[in-house]
């Protein structure tokens, strides 16, 4: 579980809130499934996205879903 809030010190209307949730499941000793969901709420001219807190191309809110399978050899 993750929560981050970023505020601009000079323009108080600019802020971003980012929420995230991740889960792992072990299918076997070497195979693992994972799922992540992230959401960002941007206001003003702030533009963070839920993937590693990097910038987005617009100030719109973003939602990201990731699902994967990892196998170790």
pLDDT of residue 46: 75
Q: What is the pLDDT of residues 14-31, one digit of tens each?
A: 888 888 889 999 999 999
Strands (E), 9-61: 15-26, 31-43
Which regions of the chain are under pLDDT 70?
51-59
Q: State both tokens at 14.
A: 């600019």
Whether the model pTM is above 0.85: no
Distance of alpha carbon 68 from alpha carbon 52, whole angstroms: 17
Distance of alpha carbon 48 from alpha carbon 13, whole angstroms: 14
pLDDT of residue 43: 80
Contact assessment for residue 38 and residue 50, using Cβ atoms and an 8 Å cutoff: yes
């Amino acid at each position: 579980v993750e929560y981050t809030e970023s505020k601009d010190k000079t323009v108080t209307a600019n802020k971003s809130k980012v929420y995230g949730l991740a889960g792992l499941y072990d299918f076997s000793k070497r195979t693992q499934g994972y799922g992540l969901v992230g959401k960002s709420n941007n206001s003003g001219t702030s533009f963070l996205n839920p993937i590693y807190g990097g910038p987005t191309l617009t100030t719109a809110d973003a939602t990201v879903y990731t699902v994967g399978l990892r196998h170790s050899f």
